[in-house]
Amino acid sequence: MSISQHPDYAEETQYLSHTLQELEKTLKIMQKRASDLSVEVHEKNRQVTNDSSQDYIDLMVGSALLSYASNKTEALEAVRQAPYFARIDFREDKKQETERFYLGKTSIIEEEDQKLLVVDWRAPVANLYYEGRIGENHYKAPQGEITGELSRKRQYVISSGALAGISDVDIVTDDELLNACLEANATNRLKEIVGTIQGEQNQIIRSDLWKTLIVQGSAGAGKTTVALHRIAYLLYAYAGTIAGDNFMILGPNQFFLNYISAVLPDLGVGEVKQSTFEDFARAILGKKFKIQDIHHKLRIFLRSKSKPEEIRWLKQESYFKSSQAFIHVCDAYLKHLESNYLPKEGLLLAGQPFMSYKQLQDLFLHSYRHLCFEKRIPEMKKNIQSKLRTQKAAMQKGLEEKCERLREKIIMQYPNDCPQRREAMKALYDKRDALLRNLEAESKTLIAKYLAKIPKTTGLEYYKQLYTDDQLFDQFVRPAAGDFADYLRQYTLEHIRRQTLELEDLAPAMLIAVSVKGLSKSEGIRHVVIDEAQDLSLFQFYMLKRILSNCTFTILGDLYQGIHGYRSIQNWDEVQRIYLPGESASDVKILQKSYRTTIEVVDKAGLIMERLHMNPSYKAIPFLRHGDEVVYQKLDYRSTIAAIGQSILQGRAERGYVTFAVICKNQEDAATAYQSLKEQLPNVQLISEDNAVYDGGISVLPSYLAKGMEFDAVYLPWADASHYGMDALDGKLLYVSMTRALHSLYLYYEDEITPLLAC
């Protein structure tokens, strides 16, 4: 049946037309308001003075109104071609009429009577669309639980302002809109997800801001989109409490951050801080050192020429620095630094004990323990100054009283005015005045002289001392490292001499630096989203929780894709003990359903994890979308390159594919494939760690850079036994590579297919 034959077509078309008209009216009003406010704020900014609090308040109010008008203008412009995607019909209990709610990416209000035409997808009532079933239902609103009957869930396909599709559904999971989204090419998928959010995704998106979430999500389960929509929802639901710049996204690399950056403005999330872990480290530690390429060790492990002994030592070094054992080492070292931070002496005032070392230590270690070392000092200074004023006044009074007693003695000794009496009096007052002057002078410099003895050592220098100082290394590191200690020290000192830190050094150095100096540059952060979290080490998680102790977290990852197992977490229990202590394992949310790729690809990739005996409860469950069979081709190298080139050209011309990836196990293989392919495909790009921009199109990249990405078609040359053996690292790299495919997947091998996939 064509859309025009739908019984509600005329009514729905009329509503769409009216909505679009009202949208344009509101848009013009908002555009003018934003323009006028921009001029007004600019003028107020020129006029505001420090001594005029009213001018400052007016400027802040004007800026807030300008921000709202600008954001609303952008939001309306983004939905001009499709103002809504769904409708729900709901009748509240004790009400006669059923209300219709049209859902879109932003609310639209009729200008004349302020009637709500489109409800923002983040509003409480929208929960009925994402999770409700037809029949008796309820949703939570600010005024409490609203109960009633849900009689309709309708979805729309709107293209260029015209109604192209109508479908009524019961649940969002198995519907035409989701299928259409999944069938779309990679360039549009992230932007069109709002209308297809699934029930289990919706629960995570709308979870309480003030509770940390840990999400285990299979490849293609929508972890990244859930994370971004969660931020968008929280900004809406907690408006006035939290702003965009209170969020930080920690992504695996700049390539990945660039990949998601285009989506954030479309969701109305433009001010969120985005950072890699390395950049966050630089913001804390400064830039007077280099960070070793985070894939340096992985490349050594994947290089055929690497010696087994070298690999074993490097893995042990990484594992130790990322472990609970090294956390204990650094915590003990921090206690040592804390206990020895102050000079081991008390304060004397005018030769008399003023404050003992024990009293000073008690202030530093206990009274101001909640502050970093450096910030405790000003607080101590205030405390000492207060005591000093009291002590100085008491000493001045004591001197005056003593002077008066001595004066009385002089008077008794010399009853009559005589030269001896006058001379004695003068000497007495001169001595008193000298003592008072000394007391005044000492009281002014006493604290400064004491505090000047505290070393101005940076957190990074303290971390380096753990390896450069024989006594410190033997006291703290050697007992934990055992026989491995000398290699660990030598390896780390080589990096220190080159002014280089590797990834495993960053977390302990950051922990020490923030303990010493604080975190002034990131004090505005209140919620942190960590994507690809399976590649973080236990120490990284521990450090982030310690230094961002006032933040909540949304932690998303897939242990099946944990390609840095030599340093990263092995299970979520370790993370849960840090972020959700005392809670049960069921508090880790699991997203198993994979929406990215087809049943055929998910099933083939699942074989790898079965053969590696990975946790079956994390296995991807494919959404019911069939596609092409996974293609295995036994070809030599030249024929493989020719077949890939021909398939890409065919996919672009015949199937409308726009993104293609040739994924190789390592960077060397990727460079080789790139050199061969660029003869056939001039626009092919080679992706490496240095790339900060993803331009789409045809890419050649190593497997470890593919995480978080997706492409219409994926090609894996060298999918043979010599490249991918029965090793956990090989298996995870192959799994990551295969699960990047949205529609088509091709594997090529010359002799034998990898045993991870062999029948």
Which letter does DSSP use for residue 753 in this model? B
Which letter does DSSP use for residue 629 in this model? P
Note the helical H segments in 267-307.
277-285, 296-302
Mind giving me the DSSP string for 12-68? Answer: HHHHHHHHHHHHHHHHHHHHHHHHHHHHHHHHHHHH--TT-HHHHHHHHHHHHHHHH
Cα separation, 518 vs 373, whole angstroms: 8
Dihedral sign, Cα of residue 725, residue 726, residue 727, residue 730: positive
Which letter does DSSP use for residue 180 in this model? H
CA distance between the termini of the chain: 45
- Strand 593-594 relative to strand 621-622, pairing: parallel
How far from 473 is each of 476, 514, 567, CA to CA, in Å?
A: 6, 21, 22
CA 184 to chain CA mean position, Å: 28
Which residues, including other chains, have CB under 8 Å from residue 515's CB and lie 6 or more apart? 334, 337, 338, 372, 373, 459
User: Which of these, 207, 180, 212, lies nearest to 193 by C-alpha position?
Assistant: 180
Note the helical H segments in 414-537.
419-451, 459-468, 470-472, 478-481, 485-497, 503-517
* Local structure of 664: helix, strand or coil: strand
In our burial notation (b when 16+ CB lie closer than 10 A, e otherwise), range 548-558 reads beebbbbbbbb
Cα separation, 257 vs 275, whole angstroms: 8
Cα separation, 608 vs 595, whole angstroms: 19
62 is in an annotated binding site: no
Cα separation, 702 vs 686, whole angstroms: 9
Residue whose pair of structure tokens reads 């296995």 in the numeric block: 619
Q: Spell out where 659-724 has E strands.
A: 660-664, 685-686, 698-702, 711-716
221 is in an annotated binding site: yes
In sequence order, the β-bridge partners of residue 661 are 699, 714
* Local structure of 748: helix, strand or coil: strand
Cα separation, 205 vs 418, whole angstroms: 95
User: Which of these, 586, 640, 633, 628, lies nearest to 713 by C-alpha position?
Assistant: 628
- Strand 144-159 relative to strand 135-141, pairing: antiparallel
Q: Spell out where 518-657 has E strands.
A: 527-530, 552-557, 588-591, 593-594, 621-622, 631-634
Which residues, including other chains, have CB under 8 Å from residue 397's CB and lie 6 or more apart? none
Cα separation, 253 vs 295, whole angstroms: 11
Residue type (1 letter), 702 = P
Cα separation, 747 vs 759, whole angstroms: 14
Cα separation, 355 vs 159, whole angstroms: 77
Ramachandran bin of 319, using left for φ above 0, alpha for ψ from -120 to 50, beta for the remaining angles = alpha
Q: Count of alpha carbons within 13 Å of 330, Cβ hemisphere only? A: 30
Q: What is the chain's Cα-based Rg?
A: 34
594 is in an annotated binding site: no
482 is in an annotated binding site: no
219 is in an annotated binding site: yes
Contact 320, 484 (CB under 8 A): yes
270 is in an annotated binding site: no
Binding residues for ATP: 217-224
Binding residues: 217-224
